Structure 1
Amino acid sequence: MNTDSLLSHLLNLKTWKRCEETAPHKPLMLLFALSRVARNAPQMMPFSEVEEPMKKLLKKFGAERKSIHPEYPFWRLQTSGIWKLENIDKVCPRKSNTDQPKSELLQHNVKAGFIDSVQVLLLQNHGLALDLMPPLAKIWFGSCWESAVGAAIEASSLLSTAVEN
């Protein structure tokens, strides 16, 4: 994968939309993941470590909801062409849809992250992960893009501090 191809995948990301409302789930997960790459964090993120930081991001940038689902972008990004999942062979699918219950992701220690070619591209081009964040956030979050980037970096940094301790 090259930079132009990655940018194309990111710019053409399919997100849920209804009228003027767009779901921030996938963009926030990608900003979070880009921030992790910029800090040289491990490629694959266990759902157990992503759940709480993503909940906070979704509360801050998503529409008010009765329940918050960080498992949706974690699972659904696998259709983007730049995301992969590990430890999914024993996950029991739901009968009603293709999303996996949080309990299955936790029970089987499912991990997610960028596909290898994206990870290598981001690591070999020092600064690319951080360079991609502002323009993408401007597209995905409009006038509050700086806040979205800052929150994703902060959430990712808090996670790495907790994991290191």
Structure 2
Amino acid sequence: MTSDKTLKQAISNITIWRKGEQRAPHKPLLLLYVLSHYRQGHDRLFDYGSEIHEQLLDLLERYGPQRREQRPDMPFWRLKGDGFWELQNAEFCSTSGSRQPP
């Protein structure tokens, strides 16, 4: 089991996109969503399609900056690169360009 100190360190090391004073809320919103479900007894792994996509899209539309299109898949994919979590079956995800979204 991960200690509170390890979890706090992992969260503080997450890379958040910034442009001037603007910051992307995608990763923090996703982490809050996931951690709140863990607290309620959720298993270790989530299914992105059935458990995260629509819920995170709703959070981004409610609390994120106005955008033509919200991308709830990007923080899910990018947190893997931050070393915060792992993705199962990532090799089956299609990629496009250098962004490599799932």
| TM-score (normalizing by structure 2) | 0.88
Who is 1:62 aligned against? Answer: 64
**Unmatched runs of 5 consecutive residues or more in structure 2:** none
Whether the 8 Å contact between 1:76 and 1:99 is mirrored in structure 2 is no
Who is 2:7 aligned against? Answer: 6
SS at match of 2:27: helix
Structure whose CA Rg is larger: 1
Identity of aligned residues (%): 30
Shift of the alpha carbon at 1:68? Answer: 0.7
The alignment status of 1:15 with 2:3, answered yes or no, reads no
SS at match of 2:90: coil
Task: Output the CA distance in 2 between the equivalents of 1:55 and 1:36.
Answer: 16
Task: Output the CA distance in 2 between the equivalents of 1:52 and 1:91.
Answer: 19
Shift of the alpha carbon at 1:31? Answer: 0.3
**Unmatched runs of 5 consecutive residues or more in structure 1:** 102-165
Task: Provide, for residues 17-68 of structure 1, a one-character-per-residue CA deviation record: whole Å limited to 9, x for no partner.
Answer: 0111100000001001101101111221111121111011001111100001
Who is 1:80 aligned against? Answer: 82
Higher helix fraction: Structure 1 or Structure 2? 1
Higher strand fraction: Structure 1 or Structure 2? 1
Matches within 5 A, 1:1-165: 1-49=2-50, 50-94=52-96, 96-101=97-102
Q: How many aligned residue pairs are there?
A: 100
SS at match of 2:87: strand
| TM-score (normalizing by structure 1) | 0.57
Task: Output the CA distance in 2 between the equivalents of 1:91 and 1:54.
Answer: 19
Task: Output the CA distance in 1 between the equivalents of 2:42 and 2:27.
Answer: 19
Shift of the alpha carbon at 1:15? Answer: 0.4
Cα RMSD (Å): 1.4
SS at match of 1:83: coil
Whether the 8 Å contact between 1:37 and 1:43 is mirrored in structure 2 is yes
Task: Provide, for residues 98-152 of structure 1, a one-character-per-residue CA deviation record: whole Å limited to 9, x for no partner.
Answer: 3325xxxxxxxxxxxxxxxxxxxxxxxxxxxxxxxxxxxxxxxxxxxxxxxxxxx
- 2:31 maps to a residue whose letter is L
- 2:8 maps to a residue whose letter is L
